[in-house]
Structure 1
Amino acid sequence: MSEVRGDAQDETELAVEGALRPGSLAEFVGQTKVRGQLQLLLDAARIQQRPADHILLSGPPGLGKTTLAMIVAHESEKPLRLSSGPAIQHAGDLAALLSSLVPGEVLFIDEIHRMARSAEEMLYLAMEDFRIDIMVGKGAGATSIPLDLAPFTLVGATTRSGMLPNPLRDRFGFTAHLEYYEPNELEQVIARSASMLDVDLPPVSRAEIARRSRGTPRIANRLLRRVRDYVVVHGGSSSAATIGDVAAALELYDVDDLGLDRLDRAVLDALVRRFRGGPVGLNTLAVAVGEEADTIESVVEPYLVRIGFTERTPRGRVATRAAYAHLGVPRHDGALALDDL
């Protein structure tokens, strides 16, 4: 029974998150330059009555890559097909996906850098000429059969654009890198979401949530929902989320003043206390905190580097003086910090 309740709760959270997604470029907050470029791309395709050029969206998780793919399909008035790189591990998986597309359909592949190499090579031809070659048979008797595809628009999303091979990257007609959000932009995101969630959120409370959201709309919406839950349970007759409510709710969920959560602080703590400030390798650091190295590299590290707490060096990860100060730990004698390099 508990598993059923857990699944239902997950589905509810996903439904809420989906409802908070903007449905058009006009509603999308932030990424001003990328929005303008996408609008021109889509308008030109609409005027010329052709599918939009293939689009590659790169950047850290939670900045709106999936949302933008949905908007591309919505504003093109075409259906959207969702897939992901880890799900495409054979050329046959991609062939089945591509051959089922209807004319003009938008195909979104998340984590496109994690596709199998054989599928990547098939995708080159599909993106350029809208056809694929299917091998029938094996050995000397194998035959290549060309299969024409319906024209489509591929939207690829990646958090690791450097892992994409150049031939694949070059076939995208438009490449955009999404940047972290400024606090004032996050306040706009939070204000829109609060109105949709029917949360009374004064400006000072919006600013506090924005400050702890790591420049990421997904995190801002997640923290907002936790603040809403706190007010529902502890707010009494008041429906407004005060600055005290925000602080109490985020403290309960281990989100500190800078937006660091339990895993962020675990990584910092291991780097500073166990490894004396570094340098230490990524895999060693991941084992020390009991987390996957890919999670540390793609989720934790970008923010710690951005706020000046850690840095990557040729010898490994190194803590800065700011990291020691945030943890309230005196530097060890002989400890290396980036400030000393």
Structure 2
Amino acid sequence: MAKNGDIERTEFALPDDAPRAAGLGEGAAGKPPVRNPDLDARTTSEEQDVETSLRPKSLTEFIGQKKVRQQLDLVLSGARARNVAPDHVLLAGPPGLGKTTMAMIIAQELGSSLRMTSGPALERAGDLAAMLSNLMEGDVLFIDEIHRMARPAEEMLYMAMEDFRIDVIVGKGPGATSIPIEIAPFTLVGATTRSGMLTGPLRDRFGFTAQMEFYETEDLTRVVMRTAGILNMNLSADAAAEIASRSRGTPRIANRLLRRVRDFADVYAGGVIDVKVAQSALVVFDVDEQGLDRLDRAVLDSLVRGHGGGPVGVSTLALAVGEEPSTVEEVCEPYLVRAGMVARTPRGRVATAQAWRHAGLIPPDNAPGL
């Protein structure tokens, strides 16, 4: 069976041949490298139910974000002591760090109901007015991606946040009448992955802003071990650390990679996940030691080998790997910059000494980071 060499390699790019699958920039012949969806920190509809079962229910259960937890605990404790609704809270940070979970915890800590929506869903002021008028006293309203709200809805939100009142326009033309509607005191929790896109008036109306940071490997290891316990996985501490170290500092990615490792272990290791099984599984799924996938490595390969380390424009890099410039700039580049492998300069992108070493080459004397 499988006499064709290509088919043979495809069937067994598993434990023995797995190291070859992790080559820098390697992809199918004649095809551009594809983005690994397991390393996308944005959530998908298929995993929402799984994520719900894994979410912590209180601040004490929440792992990581120590400073944010301490600050938020003070805000909520002070509000409970005064028996008032807490100030509005803005949660800012990259996707996958726990902003939605934190909003759920805020409602849980306050013993209140949580109403959830998203910025893109609020296209008209009437959409927001209907939601605000149905709030009960002390409710928590969570708006995800709040920076993407339509301007009419955002302007209505200003008065609701400050005065707990909205004005509804009835009629058209000269006969239009503004009817003020009082709304119950509530707490708005807004989440944004791009705080710079928030307008000044909206940002200023939040009483507390929490900046969510990427996780350290130690905290991510605890997240992986907790998830493994909830899902009844046979996972060693070393394997958890290995998965955490390749998760780009993001709990959502860590949990997603853990589920892929579990799939591998169920098929090839009897469900037992040790560090060797984890390493083999992650190679199969194109995740290397630094958390880079094929597209990331292809970008580095083009920058280092194809353009001598740069500087080179993002459009040229995108053309070299067969991707859109927006994909390279918004998906690959942020992590490569944060990992210290790419530097952004006025003239273009430059490979750092770490990128050269990751490619198995000796960095030149003028490489950043030497």
Deviations 1:98-156 (A, max 9, x none): 22222211111111111122222221111111111222333444332222212111111
Between 262-271 and 31-40, report the one with greater CA deviation: 262-271
**Alignment of 1:177 onto 2:203:** no
- State the 1:257 CA deviation: 0.7
Distance 2:326 2:124 in 1: 22
- Structure with max Cα Rg: 2
Distance 1:295 1:56 in 2: 27
Distance 2:327 2:367 in 1: 23
- State the 1:284 CA deviation: 6.3
Alpha-carbon distance change, 129 to 302 in structure 1, aligned in 2, over 3 angstroms:
same
Q: 1:24 aligns with which of 53, 58, 65?
A: 58
Alignment of 1:222-301 (within 5 A): 222-236=256-270, 239-272=271-304, 277-281=309-313, 296-301=328-333
Q: What TM-score do you get using the length of structure 2 for normalisation?
A: 0.80
Amino acid of the residue matched to residue 128 of structure 1? E
- State the 1:289 CA deviation: 5.2
Alignment of 1:100-139 (within 5 A): 100-139=134-173
- State the 1:48 CA deviation: 1.6
Secondary structure, aligned partner of 1:147: strand
Alpha-carbon distance change, 163 to 253 in structure 1, aligned in 2, over 3 angstroms:
same
Distance 2:243 2:315 in 1: 32
Q: 2:196 aligns with which of 146, 159, 162?
A: 162
Distance 2:159 2:323 in 1: 38
Distance 1:56 1:190 in 2: 27
Q: 1:218 aligns with which of 236, 244, 252?
A: 252
Q: Count the aligned residue pairs.
A: 327
- State the 1:287 CA deviation: 6.5
Alignment of 1:82-93 (within 5 A): 82-93=116-127
Distance 1:128 1:288 in 2: 51
Percent identical residues: 63
Q: What TM-score do you get using the length of structure 1 for normalisation?
A: 0.86
Amino acid of the residue matched to residue 312 of structure 1? R
Distance 2:319 2:166 in 1: 42
Query: In the alignment, what sits opposite 1:74?
Result: 108
Distance 1:164 1:11 in 2: 26
Secondary structure, aligned partner of 1:103: coil
Query: In the alignment, what sits opposite 2:31?
Result: none
Between 149-158 and 92-101, report the one with greater CA deviation: 92-101
Query: In the alignment, what sits opposite 2:339?
Result: 307
**Contact 2:354-2:369 within 8 A present in 1 as well:** no
Alpha-carbon distance change, 27 to 103 in structure 1, aligned in 2, over 3 angstroms:
same
Runs (5+) with no aligned partner, structure 1: 1-9
Secondary structure, aligned partner of 1:127: helix
Distance 2:148 2:56 in 1: 27
Query: In the alignment, what sits opposite 2:8?
Result: none
Higher relative contact order (CA 8 A, sep 6+): 2
Secondary structure, aligned partner of 1:26: coil
Secondary structure, aligned partner of 1:157: strand
Distance 1:252 1:320 in 2: 27
**Alignment of 1:319 onto 2:351:** yes
Secondary structure, aligned partner of 2:188: strand
Alpha-carbon distance change, 94 to 294 in structure 1, aligned in 2, over 3 angstroms:
farther
Deviations 1:162-204 (A, max 9, x none): 1111111111010011111111111111111111111121121
Runs (5+) with no aligned partner, structure 2: 1-43
Secondary structure, aligned partner of 1:108: strand
- State the 1:208 CA deviation: 0.8
Alpha-carbon distance change, 103 to 225 in structure 1, aligned in 2, over 3 angstroms:
same
Distance 2:300 2:104 in 1: 36
Query: In the alignment, what sits opposite 1:62?
Result: 96
Alpha-carbon distance change, 161 to 290 in structure 1, aligned in 2, over 3 angstroms:
farther
Distance 1:40 1:178 in 2: 17
**Contact 1:82-1:108 within 8 A present in 2 as well:** yes
**Contact 1:23-1:71 within 8 A present in 2 as well:** yes
